[in-house]
């Protein structure tokens, strides 16, 4: 049979980092662009596009609007699987999954962001 013994070709889709640096998806999950704002380089919301996922995204935007940090909303399941998030929505700060499966309030997100300030995660 032709199906066995052949490797599938990997198709790498070029995506951009949260700052638009043009890194590939595999690079995005390990490091970000390195441009830090108060110790935070990347904040991402991982979700399937449901109401809860959109709510976490909106709450994240409210929480970081004063800091001027860009928030990326990722719905591509392949990228989400690279982070290892098994429940949606998920919040990623400095390329580290900090919350999975619940919609956080803006105050909770602000607390997580301040906890991550000064900790290395992005290079």
In eight-state DSSP terms, residue 116 is H
Q: Which uninterrupted H or E stretch holds 122? A: none
Domains of the chain, residue spans = 43-96
CA distances from 48 to 9, 35, 65, 76, 123 (A): 26, 27, 23, 8, 28
**pLDDT (tens digit, 9 = 90+) per residue, 103-113?**
999 999 999 98
Residue 86's pLDDT is: 87
**57 closest CA partner among 46, 67, 41:** 46
The residues that are catalytic are 50, 53
Is residue 76 over pLDDT 90? Answer: yes
User: First and final CA of the chain: distance in angstroms?
Assistant: 46
- pTM to 2 decimal places: 0.68
Residue 10's pLDDT is: 38
**pLDDT (tens digit, 9 = 90+) per residue, 91-102?**
999 899 999 999
Query: Per-residue confidence at 66, pLDDT binned at 50, 70, 90?
Result: confident
Residue 9's pLDDT is: 41
């Amino acid at each position: 049979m032709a199906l066995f013994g052949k490797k599938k070709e990997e198709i790498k889709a070029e995506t951009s980092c949260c700052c638009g640096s043009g890194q590939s998806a595999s690079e995005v999950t390990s490091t970000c662009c390195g441009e830090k704002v108060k110790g935070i380089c990347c904040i991402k919301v991982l979700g399937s596009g449901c109401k809860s996922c959109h709510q976490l995204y909106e709450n994240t935007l409210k929480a970081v609007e004063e800091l001027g940090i860009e928030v990326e909303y990722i719905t591509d399941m392949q990228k989400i699987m690279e982070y290892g998030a098994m429940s949606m929505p998920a919040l990623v700060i400095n390329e580290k999954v900090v919350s999975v499966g619940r919609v956080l309030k803006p105050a909770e997100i602000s607390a997580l962001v301040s906890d991550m300030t000064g900790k290395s995660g992005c290079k």
